[in-house]
Structures are given as C-alpha cells and as structure tokens.
Structure 1
C-alpha cells in the first residue's frame, strides 16, 4: 500500500501530546523503518524486498515433521503434531491436521501472505522507478513472478483450483471475497508466470538459492506433469472415485474436457527443454557402475557434493554461521543411541521396495532374502536407510565402550555376562536403549539420507550444511520418462530411466507396457525418497489407497548366540549370531492408517469459509 498506517498513528498521537512543533516533525521517518516509497526507488532496497519473499520457502523440506511421514515412506515418532489426523483420514474443516505455519506445506494463510508480497513486487517493478542497469529490474521481476508461481503451485497441488489474486489489495475494497478459479485457469495462471519468469531471467547468472531461468522451466515441467495426471483429468478421476464423481464443481479439481494427449505432450516438451539446457550428475553412462560406486554416487547426490551439486536446480542452502532448523536433520531423524530424536522413521513398506542388486524384487518368501534382508540391495538403500548392523558414526565418548564400532543396533541380542550366563541386550538404538529409552524408532530404521556422515558433525549439538533440493535435475528426467510412457514412447523412457539406474549400479530395465510403468513408479519412489514427491505422486496417480492407505509396519530383530559362541559387548556379526527378522504392523494405538477419497484434496478451514462465502469446499468435507 502507498499509505503507511503505522506512520499515521504515530504522527496522530504526537499531535495530541505536543502543543507545538516545527513544520518538519510530521515528515520525520522512524529510524527503525523504511518507507515503501523509499524501497521502490532504491535498487538495493527493492532487492532486499524480493529476497524477503524467499522466506516463504522456510527450511524447504527439512522440518522436524516431514511430508514423508504422511506417506508410506515414514512414520513420525512423536505424538501430538497433527500428522495422524491426516494419515488416519480424520481431517475436517475444523481440524485440517498438520499444517505448521513455520513451514510451507499447505498453510493457506502463509502461502497467500507471500503471494501478496509477490504481487506488491510485481506491481512496483512493472513500472520501475529506477533504471534497469545490469538488468536488475528484469531479474527482480522474474524472481517475483517465479515465486508467485511457486506458491500457487503449492496451493494447487493440495487444494486444486484456488482464488487467483494477481494484485495487492488495498484498504476499503468493495469486497475481499473471491471465487475459486477452475483447475485449468489455475494451471494457466501459474504457467504464464513461469513463462514470464523464464524470459526475464534468461542469461542471468543467479546466486545459489535464488531462482533462475532453468528453475522456471523445471517447475513448469512439474506443473504440467501434475496437470496431465489421472487426478486432474475429470473423466478419469470420476471413474476412479465416487467421492470426486459426486462433486458438482469438478472443474475446480480437474480438466472437464480437452485433449489429454496434448497435455502429456506439453509435459514432455517442458521436461525436454530442461534436459536440453543442462545435465545432472553422472548421466550418459552406458552400463552400471560398481555397487560401491553406486552407493557413494547416491550419497554425493543427496549431500550435493563431489559432483552431486550438479543435480540442484533450485535449493535452500544452510550454513553453520546461521543456525537454522534446516541444518538439524541429524538431530531430528538420527538414532536415539546417538542422543537424537528419531523423528521421521522409515517404514518396512519402503525398505521392501528397494530392489536386489541384480534388479529383482526383494521377497520375504525367498529364504535367502529373509535370512539376510539387508544384503545385496539397491545401492540407494545403503545411502538412504540406517538399518540394524549398518556402520555409522562413532558414539559419544561415554557410550563408545558399549559400541566401539559405531554400528546401528535396533534389535535385541543375547550376550554373556561375567558369569558366562546369557543376558538380553537391548539395542542401543531401540526404545529400550540403555542410553536413551525414549526418542527411539518404532520401526527399527532411521534415516540415512541427507545426514552428513562426518564424525565431526555431532548431530545433537552441531549443524550441517546440506541443501534441501526443491527441484533437482533427476526429478525432471523422471518427469520426462513418465510423459514419454504415457505417449507410448517406451524406448525413450527406458533410455533415460536406465541412465538413472546405471549411476547407482542397477541393471537396465527391459520391461514394457504396464510392467514398465510399475518399474518407473518404483524407481521414482526409491530415487526421490524423502524429497516430498511421494505424497503428491500417489495422489495424482490415484493409487493412494493401496500405498499410503496401508498400515505402516516395522521390523522385529532378535539375535541369538550360535552354539559355542560367547560375546560380552554386542556387535553385529553373523558368524557369532543367528538373526531372525519378523515384519510386524505398527500398533494401531500408535497410528491406524486409513484412506478415504476425500484425502485427494485438502479441506479449506471453516474460518476461511466464514471469511469468504464464495469459497467452495472440496469434496467429502462439510
């Protein structure tokens, strides 16, 4: 706004308490404030304003509660955060569940507050009051348009079509009630902003953490992929869900007509535009690397180092000098035996979907697999999951006598005491740990991905510098693969899919038809684990009931000493122990996962409905 109410209030109060003053008094700006007029006449201040819009990114996906725990990737360990409201399908207009205003998930008010900031910047920079030296006006305008598109894309993938506000509201407007745009209108609005952003940012060198022409093109690829998917094709969505079929305003959620093949073609072309401009890390291999190389390659990509930084198209960066929660993934997700919090623990459903090294499926009915379930798995398993017996960091000095080797312990094991009798040793990383008998995983697993393995990074009291990948190159490759499959271009899809697999040491896929689609979907699941893809993918594919609707499960591990063996300080050793692995469902008292089709879209809170009589609620909600 052009008028600053705070300034007016201060001036009015002063006029009542001071009998006389010089004529300059009312023109004195507060020392702790910058006037709006000053911001948009000064390039540095304008840049500071636009930079502030990035605050809407929060910590990226590196929050204490991660989106992964709303899916079949993980379960959240701690109670009372509203995640089970979603996973148990208890969401309603009075309780929308986990929606932390401190992150950028689907918090309606937060996202619109940042959209307002983008609207202010776009309005002011469209009629700039300073020169375009070095293309600064174009750059700032391009950034603002990208950010508006990004925040609207976040709203769209949770809610469907939303009110499209493209200007900053002023005081005294006739009405502030806006109707929802259709799904098609919402997508077109986002795409127009992204096209403008790509044009304005073309050829400009951008600092890490800021958007770019490539980021605009990559986000366009994601938006068009979502738009072409089953959930947003009216006839398909209605055929798959009675809840959606009964919704009288289907155009708010999906295309009611049009040519779906053309939508897939646009999605494919958008992805190809990115692939033609750049490359990620280790693409173009003609055969798989070794298994050990594959593990390290995936770790490098996850940590964005040693070549993995080539993967990043748009990321949120963290530095130790500024201690933010985004640098605390080790604390949030690490084992309690290392004095960490075990927050978003992997579930057995995810672990079972990692292939064997030879590309075959893992199978509990295979005795060799069942007796050693962590042997000979896809390299990405070892780069993503901390499992029983996995080598990890040294324990704290006081705990090293209990575990000199730094191995993950999530089972119960026999040990021999000083009298030679057998005792039960509860693993140091269980909920019966002698180190901390709280903050332990319920599932028997911990997250390895995104956690710096450097022993000097002591997770409970130091911060790490691992960036959050909002968009990485491999996502765009997977987008291209999916669109190619939908268009019947299987050779093209396999070629790109195998390049992803070769760099982690997995053999080429050879399937076709539905089997190839399933291989692709699992590849996306494994490659992008914990990257905020799964929650959206299974909904847009409309396979949520058989994926995130399943009850989470765990592993129970027991180790018994082999005949004639003794050991007083436990270590993982198949030469000394017989291990038995038993899959069990999570106790329903902890979490009882349920899927109802209303969960394909988030509900509007009743406060928003009360504020805006034109806002139509999503299907399945009051």
Structure 2
C-alpha cells in the first residue's frame, strides 16, 4: 500500500517545537525537495530529512499533560477544582466526581485537544506502524535510520502506556489499517500482555538510541531508561499488583537505579524548572514552545492567570493542597482532618503565608501575594494579587473597606481593590470581566509574569517537563517503602527536600506517617505534571482524596483602619470552609472507577470483540 504525506501533515511536522529538533536549514531543505501536496512513501522513507520530519509528527502522539483540559486530571483529585464557567471539560469532570461516568459520556473526559483519547492515541500508533512497515526496504544509512527507529519504538510504547493507565488492557495493533473503518474486530489484550509489549518497545528504543548524542528536546536513551522505570513502578503498584509481588518492586528498583546512573542532578531553583530554557541538569525529557507552536488556546497564562479581564482561570488550588505545604519547621499547619490547627506547628490561620515551605510561594498565589508583574493590554505594573483580582471595592465588606491612601505612589492606580471581593460583583453582574476564584487561591507554577496575560505573538517562557530526576527520587522512595527499607525511603524524600531553593527539614517519620509524608511530598512537588490523579489510581487511594468536599477561603476582608501612609495592604481576616459553589463530590463509586470505560463507539465498531471494563 502507498501512503501520501499531504501538505497538512508535513506542515504540522515542521511546526513541532521540541527544542533542537528542526534547524532552519533543515526546514528549508524539506521545503525545497518536492511539492508538498503529493510526496510518495518512497520519497519519505528513503530520505533522512523527510523521514525525520515524519517521526517528529509522531511526537504529537504524546498526550499533553494539560489534557483533557486545563490542569489535566488534577481537577479529579484533592489538590484542584475546576471552575465550571470556564473549564472546557467541566461536564466530564462532573460526571466522574458525581459517579455518573459511562461508556457513552467518557469521551468528554478521556480526551485530548484533538479529540477522544482512544482515537487520538490509536491514530498516532497507526503512524508509528506505517513507519515500521515502510522502513524495511529503506535505503537510509543505519547511522541515521537507527536513531529514528529508537524514537518511534519509544513513542509507540508511550502511547500504549497512556491507553493502559486509562483503560487497562487494550488491543495491541502492529499494522497500519485504518481505525475509522466500519468495523474494528480486534479484542483487547490483557493488561500484562500490554505491559510486556510496552517494555519490549522501550528496550528496543534503548538499543537503537545507545550511543546517539543527546539533542535537547529529542527522545534519548536516557528518556527511554527513565520511561522504563516509570512503567515498572506502575506495574508494581497496588492497582496492578494486587498480590504485592515483591519481584515487581525489585524490577522497578533496578530500573530506577539505572536512571540515577545517568548523571542527572537536581536543579537548584524549583520554579526555574518550568521556564525556558529546559533545565537539562534535572529534566530528562521535556518540551518548549515558540509563538507559533504554543499551548492551544491562549496558553498557560490565559488558563491560570490571576483572575481578571476575562482570563479563563479554569483551575484553582484547594485548601487541601494549600495545607500540604508544611511550615519551615517541618510541621503541617493542620492535623490530617484539614480543619484542626496543628498546635505544635506554630501556625496562625490569620497569617497563612508566614514561614511556609518555599515551594508554597512558587506554587500558589494567595490573598496578599506579590507584588506580581501584571501585564495586560496597556497596563503593566507591579501589583499585589488583590489589586488584580477585583477592580471594584465590595460594598458588602464592613467599612472601612477603602484604602485611605487612595493611590499607589508607584503606579498611580487606586488602592481600593481586594481579592475575593470579585465573587460578589460577579454574582451581582457588576464586573462581567472578572471570573470568580472559587477557593480564593490560584496556581502560580505555570504563569509567565514576564509576558502578557494573553498574546498570540509573545514568546512565553513556559516549558513542559515530561520526566525529571525528582520524580525518580520519589519513585525510589516509594519502592523502598514497599520493600521494607524505610531509612532509604526517607533518604530519597529528603534529597528532594534539600534542593537549595527549598531546604526543608528532613522527615523522620515511619509507618503510616511516612506514607503520608511521601504522598504529600509527591503532590506538592509534581502538581500540574499529570501525576496526582494517576498516583491516586495506582495506589487505590481514591476514597478520602477524590471524594472529599472542596474547601478554601469562604471570605476574606481587609480592614484599613490602622493603615499607615504607603501601606499596600490593610489587615486581612480569613474565613475558611467548604466552598458551596464548587461541584459536589459524591462518595467513591467503587474500584471499577480506577479505570475509565472504553467508549461505546469503539465497542460497537468492534462488533462486540472489545469487552467493556467491569462496572460499566
């Protein structure tokens, strides 16, 4: 069978922004080769430039970590809540949290910016299969062809793993027949069969990439070794290892040790990991963007920017997430119930920002945070979070609610703004350009305050990190806990806490407390990195985490009566509680919810060959 690589496909390949992938000269060479509306498979699979660009197109099969909507699946967990007015996947999120997920509505949740996850991944798996079918007779020299083989083996493994952790066992397809045919009569392989296929693909990738120079942003042998270690951790986890087979944990241990031997180190600054350029001392595999290839829509800034002037603000942190950040003395601010203050910590709920884990200030924007460099349209200034959140004083606050200083001497702007007051004005319809911030907090990790809120032309400094050394330190701690080596587990958790910009006290806990400390550390370190939801699933730890009420700041007021000239803040008073407007999370539906149902459209296309996951 012959395949035509159409103009649209090649252009998409050329637009990829993995750092170091496509030099200008390479792009020009491709454009000069042949008309792009009809390039035969012979031209593509026998020309190293054409073929490399075909491979770059297959990179698009890596589901972005923000999919299915802003924040990935973090809105299904205890650390984040979606804001239904703005979140593009609110219906799917509600279906899951309310226990109404079905095989007919799952595609609203198991989704990507390009469509349902099942179709998306199998579409790119087909591209990988086309590659392998056509290179059998390729005349490209081995030194150029073998690294591309390694990349595509890795990508096919990655895409199957994405399907596995979402649905369980799926059909293993190694040929390129069209998936949109009227029937797709292929049964599911078992989860273990899929796991063995993925591991064999990764081993193939490791072999073909051995000795290939590392090109930042491209798949490397190091990325393949790290991915193998991640897969083996999933296979050893309770969801996939119900009998706690220690051999699976030992296999994960060996693979993770191999990652440590690669020579990566922790980058000194936590916040810098998510800004250009990719921090290759710690980042094993990541992606950067240009104005032409940025995150879909307006990008991270538009989705996470502190609310105002029609920024989407689609996802916000919960109080539960905020409470995960310890004080600098190593104590949690609250007891495990999330309501009772931990007296031993010295925490004051009316001074919640005082003496917190330094990662708190890099991760959460809270009332009084700042000053932040806010650039929007003609406005560009250093402002506290309150100034940005509400452009109007809230008359429902008890007076005095207006700053007697009136004007900020730095920028001439009125100083009567205040954080969560925009909720009242939104409800009253007085400020249509201000979205509500349900919990009173916003995420900071992904924001680029050096650039504007939204611009198609700005070269934002954000990057996406798919794998970094920190994850594997934490993975290794989890493995050691499973193997009964708590001292080693603490050692690796404390390595993460000793990053120079963090420098938190060592944890010394054991048993159940150690498990809490580990999972807490993982949540704050890896939030918004497509980790928390799948961690809770593989641990079978959803009850008490997924199905809890959403808590946050229910009221914040500011008293200016004691303000002195030049003060930018009055005295803040915080009230905490359950957020009534947040979605109601129903009790955990049961173990079948640890996997999503296969879409009924696929069941029907298979003429019954595909069997549905139990419980759906």
Cα separation, 2, equivalents of 1:460 and 1:445: 24
Question: 1:47 — aligned with what?
Answer: 52
Structure 1 range deviating more: 173-182 or 596-605? 173-182
**Is contact 1:70-1:87 (8 Å) kept?**
yes
**1:440-451, aligned counterparts within 5 Å?**
440-451=436-447
Cα offset for 1:498?
0.7
Cα offset for 1:596?
1.1
Cα separation, 1, equivalents of 2:530 and 2:180: 40
Question: 2:589 — aligned with what?
Answer: 596
Which runs of no fewer than 5 residues in structure 2 stay unpaired? 7-33, 406-414
**Is contact 1:157-1:536 (8 Å) kept?**
yes
Pair 1:365-2:340 in alignment: yes
**1:19-418, aligned counterparts within 5 Å?**
32-57=37-62, 59-61=64-66, 64-67=69-72, 68-79=74-85, 81=89, 82-99=92-109, 101-103=111-113, 107-132=117-142, 135-169=143-177, 176-235=184-243, 260-282=245-267, 297-303=269-275, 308-325=279-296, 328-337=299-308, 339-363=310-334, 364-366=339-341, 368-395=347-374, 405-408=383-386, 414-415=399-400
Question: 2:9 — aligned with what?
Answer: none
Cα separation, 2, equivalents of 1:147 and 1:501: 32
Cα separation, 2, equivalents of 1:354 and 1:174: 52
CA separation of 1:553 and 1:92: change in aligned 2, threshold 3 A: same
Which runs of no fewer than 5 residues in structure 1 stay unpaired? 7-28, 237-259, 284-296
Cα offset for 1:216?
0.7
Cα separation, 1, equivalents of 2:316 and 2:160: 30
Cα separation, 2, equivalents of 1:445 and 1:614: 47
Cα separation, 2, equivalents of 1:215 and 1:181: 26
- Count of matched residue pairs: 552
Secondary structure in 1 matching 2:574: strand
Secondary structure in 2 matching 1:557: strand
Cα offset for 1:452?
2.0
Question: 1:244 — aligned with what?
Answer: none
CA separation of 1:388 and 1:143: change in aligned 2, threshold 3 A: same
Structure 1 range deviating more: 313-322 or 86-95? 313-322
Cα separation, 1, equivalents of 2:363 and 2:568: 22
CA separation of 1:389 and 1:396: change in aligned 2, threshold 3 A: same
CA separation of 1:370 and 1:218: change in aligned 2, threshold 3 A: same
Question: 1:14 — aligned with what?
Answer: none
Question: 1:471 — aligned with what?
Answer: 467
Among candidates 587, 601, 616, match of residue 581 of structure 2: 587
Deviations 1:390-411 (A, max 9, x none): 004244589979x974334669
Deviations 1:530-554 (A, max 9, x none): 1110010001111101111212222
Cα separation, 2, equivalents of 1:312 and 1:266: 23
Cα separation, 1, equivalents of 2:99 and 2:509: 36
**Is contact 2:182-2:605 (8 Å) kept?**
no
Among candidates 430, 446, 451, match of residue 422 of structure 2: 430
**Is contact 2:274-2:464 (8 Å) kept?**
no
Structure number with bigger Rg: 1
Question: 1:527 — aligned with what?
Answer: 525
Secondary structure in 1 matching 2:578: strand
Secondary structure in 2 matching 1:75: strand
Structure 1 range deviating more: 219-228 or 61-70? 61-70
Cα offset for 1:60?
4.0
Deviations 1:18-38 (A, max 9, x none): xxxxxxxxxxx9861111122
**Is contact 2:420-2:556 (8 Å) kept?**
no
TM-score, reference length from structure 2: 0.81
Cα separation, 2, equivalents of 1:419 and 1:520: 47
Cα offset for 1:383?
0.7
